[in-house]
Amino acid sequence: MEALDVDEVIAQLLATEGFESVAEVAYVDAGEVAHIEGFDEETAKEIQARARDFWRGRKRSATPNARSSECLTI
């Protein structure tokens, strides 16, 4: 939730749809995110952009705890 800077409702929707990590949200086909009830193409693009930014930052820092931080926390 914090990684994507979204509220709890959006994080819950992502988790309910089966997304378990920021990387999944970042790199899945945009249509899968837009298909979530209440999301449109613009919302999906914004969420994916945030996920990619977070994921790229994590890959650059390459900390030992990066794996635990990539999970969606609800």
pLDDT at 3: 85
Structure letter (DSSP) for residue 36:
S
Torsions phi, psi of 36, nearest 5? -65, 135
Predicted confidence band of residue 1 (pLDDT cuts 50, 70, 90): low
pTM over 0.85: no
pLDDT for 26 beyond 90: yes
Residue 46's identity, in one-letter code, is E
Predicted confidence band of residue 56 (pLDDT cuts 50, 70, 90): confident
